[in-house]
Structure 1
Amino acid sequence: MNFTSSAAAHLPLPGWTYVPGETADAEADYETLRHAKALVPAQFVGFVPTRHPALRYGMALNDAGYFWESQQVLEAVWAAAPQGGRERLLLRACIQIAGANLKLRMRKPNATLRLWGEALTGISELLARRSAASGGFADRFPAVQLAKVLQTRLAQEGLAKADWIAFGSL
């Protein structure tokens, strides 16, 4: 699934990747993220559109290795997603995956595995819920493939920094 769009393509990547505890001399590039978060409405009605630029930007940030930044943008989208909706489950799982990717970069394999496990639980719950075929993010996202990737990573012996999960590779 390709996560670029014309609106998201106009948003620049942050000037640097922020890694808590490692980039102590620099804060996160909050200004760049502010522009993406400003695109998020106060509340999505019915569902989160797959082509929403902030959603696509948050997913693209993860795939470009900006894991902390991806979490920040996806959390803003999650907060505006309809309560109790399938999109909230999927967005929470995506946030957990970006967080796990960050923990993997920070060489914290136990935290990585815990977050991937929580993401798999959320994806399993998403797949168990019936879809009303809204055309939203949760209906179009390859959740079955993501569940398989998570299961493979969780069963893997030893993790390397290169084992992070990119959404666009699904």
Structure 2
Amino acid sequence: MTAKVDLENVLAKMRDPRKGLSDEVFHFIRKVTPLINVDLLIQRNGRTLLAWREDEYDTGWHIPGGIIRFREEFQSRIDAVARVEIGATVESDAAPCNIAELREHDRGHFISLLYRCSLTSELDPVRMHSGEGRPANGALSWIEGLPKDFYPAQLFYRDWLEGKR
């Protein structure tokens, strides 16, 4: 079988890429091309809203974000991240306040667009970490500065969390 036939078979099995990719297809694509994601910088009273993340790559607090889907507008992904990752709605600036690139990581090659956002709805109190024990995956917390257990792949946001930008 030629490579072209193999790729055609993969495409034939792929559902609508605008709705996301199967894990198998996603893991292939992230190994061969950069992916673009939006991250939501939500700050209030000197604190940043962070989400706890545990996955096969690492563990720690991170700025909520998500990979832009095929033919998706930036604003649509920002809205989806707010809904799925923090259970709220947000308003965002029209343009990113920072663009960062992560090249040398097991997750792949990412171009991250950081958008300043403000909440337009209340956060679900059930999602908030109590401060006791290890957070559940996806738990939220308002954190001042850079937490010691920050998700390593996002350390390029250090200055934003430490108030230097």
**Could you tell me the TM-score, scaled by structure 2's length?**
0.25
Q: Which has the higher contact order (CA 8 A, sep 6+)?
A: 2
User: Which of these two proteins has the greater Rg computed from alpha carbons?
Assistant: 2
Higher relative strand content: 2
**Could you tell me the TM-score, scaled by structure 1's length?**
0.25
